Amino acid sequence: MVSIGTISLNDKYIQSFVEKDELTALQDFVESAHKKIHEGTGAGADYLGWLNWPSTMDDAEVSRIEETALKLSKDVDVLIVIGIGGSYLGAKAVQDLLSPAFGRTGLEVVYAGQHISGRYLEELLAYIEGKKVAVNVISKSGTTTEPAIAFRKLKAWMYEAYGEQEAASRIIVTTDESAGALRKTADEAGYVSFVIPGDIGGRYSVLTPVGLLPLAAAGVDIRQLLSGAKQAEADLISTNLEENAAYAYAAYRQVLNARGYSTEVMASFEPAMAGMNEWWKQLFGESEGKQGKGIFPASVIYSTDLHSLGQYLQNGRRMLFETMVSFTEDQQQSQIPFDEEDGDGLNYLVDKTLHEVNQQALNATAMAHHDGGVPILQLEIPKLDAHHTGYLLYFFMKACAMSAYLSGVNPFDQPGVEQYKQNMFQLLGKPGYEK
Ligand SMILES: O=P(O)(O)OC[C@H]1O[C@](O)(CO)[C@@H](O)[C@@H]1O
């Protein structure tokens, strides 16, 4: 168990697969990768801005985000966040994790520009008819096709619905400080704008205005989110694998990968984690999947997926390891009621809460999958709130940088994402892409 700091790494169900020596053998490599991260001596060092971001973010900018969100909450029914990949996954992940599943009150935050579905966009346009709408378009380049199409359509709708001046006051741009098509548009049209720091890539940008503005608009306490990340920044500094759970997680991943466990399944027993799983998949998938290397990131929500993928996890091809994320505190104390007839035979559980039952489901699944040949890492988080969510985000970013450097790749580029774009531009006849 590596438990210095807020998140503990429980390695109980890994010990029969990995010898302690295998992990400690990586200690020197961890130290060298740590230098790459902290001294900026590795590949992609121009994109290390996220490392000290929680402790250095300008407080006045946090206030400006909060003020903009407050104004939106008074003037607007629906905020449409337009972006793809790292431009929206973090905000959606945190919003889904921290907002109630039902009966969300206040400003509604919805997403567009993550795909080219005409059906989705037309349904969205029909949905916002008669509502007070604002748009936050998020794109560093401003030319990514999917969000650019969504923005063009929504902008046209807004100019038609509100007229030029009011529509412009309802558009907020988050983009590069000085470069790119969207910066030019924002400056020319006089849109309110926020800056994506030049040294922070999309998938590491959730704690910048990219994630913070939509989250503040959705009612998330962004100062608590940042305070958790700041604590993680301070905690996850040791190079000792016995003291730094993020580095131990990264090192275990690489040991397992070397043993042929090439797929990692992120598993949670909390359905609100589904969005976080998607954010995590982009973070690790884009950071590590290159040069023919990388652990394939997959995800499940249990118990739901125990009744779809559970069979495969238990008895299928043995190239999987699981990372189970759980929250320790029972925040709801939701009881199972007594039933006189006990037709379902559940009366034996009446003195237990759903949290306790769910925790035993996790233990039972971990035991079963372990016995079926699946190594399991367990990340234990004390509580599900904004502070601990901020901690978790930073934990994964730090672990990802370490893991990618350990595997010998640049954690901060994504050259492979271009290939489909080139083909698509050629097929669509974009000028300049004829060949
Ligand atoms: O912000 P942009 O330029 O629209 O790019 C969107 C996304 O595309 C990527 O560059 C590649 O998937 C991500 O890192 C980024 O979040």
pLDDT for the residue 276: 98
Q: What is the average per-residue pLDDT within 151-165?
A: 97
Task: Count Cβ neighbours within 10 Å for each residue of 286-306 and write b for 16 or more, e otherwise.
Answer: bbbbbeeebbbbbbbbbeebb
Which residues have a catalytic role annotated? 286, 421
The pLDDT of 76-95, averaged and rounded, is 98
Residue 145 CB–ligand 1 contact under 6 Å: no
103 pLDDT tier (thresholds 50, 70, 90): confident
CA of 284 to the centre of ligand 1 (A): 14
Does residue 3 carry a pLDDT above 70? no
Pocket test for ligand 1, best of 47, 279, 417 (most atoms within 8 A of CB): 417
Share of the chain above pLDDT 70, in %: 99
Confidence of residue 360 (pLDDT cuts 50, 70, 90): very high
Say yes or no to pLDDT of 2 above 80: no
pLDDT tens sequence across 226-245: 999 999 999 999 999 999 99
User: Which residue out of 47, 81, 82, 87 has the highest number of ligand 1 atoms within 8 Å of its CB and is therefore the one to mutate?
Assistant: 87
Q: Mean pLDDT across the stretch 60-68?
A: 98
Has residue 223 got a pLDDT over 70? yes
Residue 145 has pLDDT above 70, yes or no: yes
Which atom of ligand 1 has the smallest separation from the CA of 180?
3
Query: Measured from the CB, is residue 87 less than 6 Å from ligand 1?
Result: yes
Residue 158, class by beta-carbon neighbours within 10 Å (0-12 exposed, 13-18 middle, 19+ buried)?
buried
- Per-residue pLDDT, 1: 72
Model confidence at 75: pLDDT above 90: yes
Q: Is 417 in the pocket of ligand 1 (CB under 6 A)?
A: yes
Whole-number pLDDT of residue 435: 73
Region 236-256 average pLDDT: 97
Please state, in angstroms and rounded to a whole number, the distance separating the CA atoms of residues 128 and 80: 10
pLDDT at 12: 94
Question: What's the whole-model pTM score?
Answer: 0.97
Q: What is the pLDDT of residues 29-41, one digit of tens each?
A: 999 999 999 999 9
Residues contacting residue 290 through CB under 8 Å, at least 6 positions apart: 409, 410, 413, 414, 415, 416
414 lines ligand 1 (CB under 6 A): yes
pLDDT surpassing 70 at residue 113 = yes
State the complex-level ipTM: 0.97
The tokens of 426 are what? 């050629």
Torsion of CA 196, 34, 386, 276, to 10 degrees: 80
Does the Cβ of 84 fall within 6 Å of ligand 1? yes
Domains and CATH numbers, the chain: 8-42+226-407 (3.40.50.10490), 53-220 (3.40.50.10490)
Predicted local confidence at residue 356, as pLDDT: 97
Q: pLDDT of 383-407, one tens digit each?
A: 999 999 999 999 999 999 999 999 9
Q: Residue 107 pLDDT > 90, yes or no? A: yes
Q: Give the 3-state secondary structure of residue 146.
A: helix
Residue type, 176: D
pLDDT band at 282 (very low <50, low <70, confident <90, very high): very high
Does residue 47 or residue 104 have the better pLDDT? Answer: 47
183 alpha carbon – ligand 1 mean position (Å): 15
Mean pLDDT over 296-318 rounds to 98
Instruction: State if residue 139 touches ligand 1 by the CB under 6 angstroms criterion.
Output: yes
Q: Which ligand 1 atom is at minimum distance from the Cα of 87?
A: 16
Ligand 1 atom closest to Cα of 144? 4
Ligand 1 centre to CA of 143 (Å) is 10
Q: Which two tokens stand for residue 349?
A: 């559980």
* pLDDT tier at 4, thresholds 50, 70, 90: low
Report the DSSP beta bridge partners of residue 379. Answer: 9, 325
What Cα–Cα distance (Å) separates residue 355 from each residue in 332, 346, 362?
Answer: 8, 15, 10
Q: How many CB atoms lie within 10 A of CB 308?
A: 9
Q: pLDDT tens digit string along 164-208? A: 999 999 999 999 999 999 999 999 999 999 999 999 999 999 999
On average, the pLDDT of the chain sits at 96
